[in-house]
Amino acid sequence: MTVVLTVVGGYPGAEVTGAQRMAWRSTDALARRGHRVAVLSDTAPPRDVALPHLREPAELAGSEFAGPDFVHVYDVASPRYAALGARIARERSATLLVTPASDPATWPDARLGVAICAQARSLFALTSPEADALRAMGAATGRVRFIPQAPDLVGDGDGDGFRKRHGLTGPMVLFAGRHVPSKGYQLLLQAAPGVWRSRPDTVFVFCGPSSGREVDEFFAAHADDRIRRLGVLADEEKHAAMAACDLVCLPTSADVFPLVFAEAWSCGKPVVSGRFPGVDEVVRHGRDGLVVGLTAHEVGAAVVRLINDDTLRDRIGAHGRTRARDEMTWDRTAALIEQEMA
């Protein structure tokens, strides 16, 4: 029986990220496939996941996970835990696997990230451009493998209940993600007035972590009753928001594969994405979403197009649901990781 130690770090003051959810869910799927697993992390697991959870490396001493066969690091953009996982693998003669799970341009310590990737026997990428970036850093082609993203939604997705709780009756556009410029929250706020000229009944709901005066000031400058800023939602409420919305808009400029897109598709919702390297592999324009330039005009035009065309919106949402069902499962992700542990 293979022993696997997953290592993933969080971000101070932030909600659980897509990379962290991928780490917990894929590790849980490995456990269901018969492996002995534990997670070393400063983040809490999803409520329905019951895995051995270590918060500090000292807890490894004397445990059944003190000598793992594999250490799997997720998210190189969290340097403390990424470095910790690499060190544990070296010191305990374990094989290192790495899922960078973030755009290398966002790595706080690029030199460290390159070193960790160089140590890994296998690197797991979500898109071809991400794989190309890893190869450009020196990773041999044979060491890079592809794994899929998958949705992570909890609860029954009570969209009607969400709308009633928040008094929503018209079209709803959902932004779910960190409130940082690269995710495009500012672009969506700037696009809202153009959308309202065509559909004044549209409400924009923003959920996800934010901090700092700049974010508060930007929302204040675009204050309107049709802008709802809800902060970090409980997992069940996030699922309800996804079920309630007409579309998900994340005009991101720096990403690998936003988890929120897989979640939107699993709910049959179309997405609007900004352009980032590899986006054409993530969102199939006109089939399961719309990919637009990084301007408020283009973002707004895509939102209006989907709101005004019920047939297009339903067709794109249905394609997304089929794709999520057929291609995006944690068991499939775990099976591909398992192949590299043979």
**What is the rounded average pLDDT of the residues 47-68?**
91
Total domains, the chain:
2
Lowest mean pLDDT among 10-24, 204-218, 241-255, 289-303: 10-24
Domain match, 211 and 234 both: yes
Lowest mean pLDDT among 127-131, 241-245, 250-254, 271-275: 127-131
For residue 337, being part of any structural domain is answered with: no
Quick one: tokens of 214?
């700049």
Domain match, 321 and 177 both: yes
For residue 341, being part of any structural domain is answered with: no
What is the structure's pLDDT at 111?
93
- Which CA distances in Å does 70 have to 55, 95, 111, 252, 268? 18, 5, 23, 33, 37
In a 3-state reduction of DSSP, which class is residue 37? strand
Q: How far apart are CA 1 and CA 293, in angstroms?
A: 49
What is the structure's pLDDT at 245?
98
What is the structure's pLDDT at 185?
97
Does the pLDDT of residue 44 top 70, yes or no?
A: yes
For residue 338, being part of any structural domain is answered with: no
Q: Which of the 8 DSSP states describes residue 182?
A: G
pLDDT digits (tens, 9 = 90+) for 262-289: 999 999 999 999 999 889 999 999 999 9
Per the prediction, the chain carries an average pLDDT of: 93
For residue 340, being part of any structural domain is answered with: no
Residues 222, 189 contacting (CB under 8 angstroms): yes
Domain match, 207 and 113 both: no
Domain match, 206 and 67 both: no
pLDDT digits (tens, 9 = 90+) for 218-238: 999 999 999 999 998 988 999
pLDDT digits (tens, 9 = 90+) for 153-202: 988 899 999 999 999 999 999 999 989 999 999 999 999 999 999 999 99
Quick one: tokens of 249?
């808009």
Does the pLDDT of residue 251 top 90, yes or no?
A: yes
Domain match, 166 and 120 both: no
Domain match, 244 and 127 both: no
Per-residue confidence band for 12, with pLDDT thresholds at 50, 70 and 90: low
What is the structure's pLDDT at 168?
96
For residue 21, being part of any structural domain is answered with: yes
In a 3-state reduction of DSSP, which class is residue 267? coil
Residues 73, 99 contacting (CB under 8 angstroms): yes
Domain match, 84 and 117 both: yes
Per-residue confidence band for 141, with pLDDT thresholds at 50, 70 and 90: confident
Does the pLDDT of residue 35 top 90, yes or no?
A: yes
pTM of the predicted structure, to 2 decimals: 0.86
Domain match, 246 and 103 both: no
For residue 194, being part of any structural domain is answered with: yes
Does the pLDDT of residue 260 top 90, yes or no?
A: yes
Lowest mean pLDDT among 210-214, 284-288, 334-338: 210-214
Domain match, 137 and 172 both: no
Domain match, 107 and 239 both: no
Query: Which domain covers residue 73, as residue numbers?
Result: 3-147
What is the structure's pLDDT at 283?
96
Residues 7, 85 contacting (CB under 8 angstroms): yes
pLDDT digits (tens, 9 = 90+) for 82-101: 999 999 999 999 999 999 98
Q: In this structure, what are the phi and psi dihedrals at residue 100, rounded to the nearest 5 degrees?
A: -55, -40
**Of 147, 171, 186, which marks where a domain is finished?**
147
Domain match, 174 and 94 both: no
Does the pLDDT of residue 142 top 90, yes or no?
A: no
Domain match, 143 and 201 both: no
Closest CA to 197 of 273, 307, 274: 307
Residue located via tokens 């068991």: 331
Per-residue confidence band for 13, with pLDDT thresholds at 50, 70 and 90: low
Q: Which comes out higher in pLDDT, residue 103 or 326?
A: 326
**Of 117, 147, 177, which marks where a domain is finished?**
147
Per-residue confidence band for 254, with pLDDT thresholds at 50, 70 and 90: confident
